[in-house]
Structures are given as structure tokens and as C-alpha cells.
Amino acid sequence: MIEVNRNMTMDELVKTIHEIHANWWIDLETGKRKERNVGELLCLVHSEISEGMEGHRKNLMDDHLPHRSMIEVELADALIRIMDIAGGLNLDLPGAVIEKLIYNQQRADHKLEKRRKEGGKAY
């Protein structure tokens, strides 16, 4: 079993999650690594988000981790899928997250005064 703990960095999580799910990147017939369809991978992330929405809408607890809400577990599944994609495609997800957080703090359309205006971002 591959070690996982709460003190892992995002870089370590991406690498570990991709290691744990290496079989998602293996061709079942040849046993060799295969290229994945990025559209399919993104749809799988979307499916986890949709399951989370449904769990939240119905106020459900998770089937596999019954002490946790379904939305919590499905969001975790979405993050696992996203981090696996990042590992499989060799993307710098931690770097992109940090840069995007810095950028978003400066965005005019994220500021309350802009959001309150007519036509401002409501979500």
C-alpha cells in the first residue's frame, strides 16, 4: 500500500494519487500505458461534481464513508480525478493553483463592489 498522510504537499499528492491510480492509465488488452482521452477525463471529473450536487440536494451521506456527507466525498473524488489527470499529463497543477489564486485577488470582477453592480458576477 502506498503511504498517504495529511502532511503531504500538493506536489506529493499529485504524484501519489497518480501512482495509486496507475491502472487507470493501462490498456486492459496490452497491459501497457495508454494515452487517455482528455475529454473523457474531464467528463469523469464532471460526473463526480454532479454526484456531489445530487448528494447535497438530497442531503445524503456517502455509501462508502457513511460518516461523511456525499458532497464531501464526491468533491474529494473530483480532486482525486483532477490530481490524477495532472500527474498523468505532467501538468504543474500546484504552480497553476498558486498563480491563479494570486491573479484572482487582483480581478476587478471578483471584488464586492463590482459584483453588486447591475450585470456583476452573481456566482
- Domains of the chain by residue range: 10-91, 92-123
Give the whole-angstrom CA distance, residue 12 versus residue 5.
10
114 near 108, Cβ under 8 Å?
yes
Cell of 49: 461534481
Q: Quick one: which H or E segment has residue 46? A: helix 38-57
Dump pLDDT digits (tens) for 10-64.
Answer: 999 999 999 999 999 999 999 999 999 999 999 999 999 999 999 999 999 999 9
> Residue 79 and residue 17: Cα distance in Å, rounded?
10
Q: Summarize pLDDT for 57-69 with one digit per residue, the tens.
A: 999 999 999 999 9
CB count in 10 Å sphere of residue 76: 15
CA atoms within 13 A on the CB side of 40: 5
